[in-house]
Structure 1
Amino acid sequence: ASRLANNRELRNALTPQELANALNALSKWPDTPHCADAANALASRLADERGLRKALNPQGVANVLNALSKWPDTPDCAAVASALASRLA
């Protein structure tokens, strides 16, 4: 988790499915600082890259929304959740 939080190249190398899977895994330990930091870093990438959000398949969207729900008070997590939720409307 700390590698994801601290290594932009590693985060940027993740495909949409890999990013969704990583967020899903990190969400199993939402109170662990390294996991929360990594999730926030991944959410920041999703917030910045509209194309990445659009590339998520329906299962990926569901997994990301479920994962981000573990950190509702984190600005990037909330922004990405809102952007993805608009795809469902």
Structure 2
Amino acid sequence: MSSAAAFLDDDEVSPKERLAELFEQIAELTGQRNAIDAQIVDIVAEIDHGGLAGMTGARSISALVAWKTGVSPRNAKTIAAVAARGGQFPRCV
């Protein structure tokens, strides 16, 4: 049963309480996604700074990121840019 169906069966939970629960879930998932993104940036930085991308056949780091992660080329370019400049902005990474 989906969480939406479970909600419809539970008359004791107000819509306001359910929304608060859903917002908590969003916050938790967003935190997990941010942690994963940071790990990806670290890996991309190691590939880039270690000169390891050359053996992949990818034309650029951002192309490599797009290929291996499935993100859009624009998001891949952002990830590659953050990885390249991580030393300048350690709090962002």
Q: Which structure has the higher relative contact order (CA within 8 Å, separation 6+)?
A: 1
TM-score, length basis structure 1: 0.35
Q: Which has the higher helix share?
A: 1
TM-score normalised per structure 2: 0.34
Larger radius of gyration between Structure 1 and Structure 2: 2
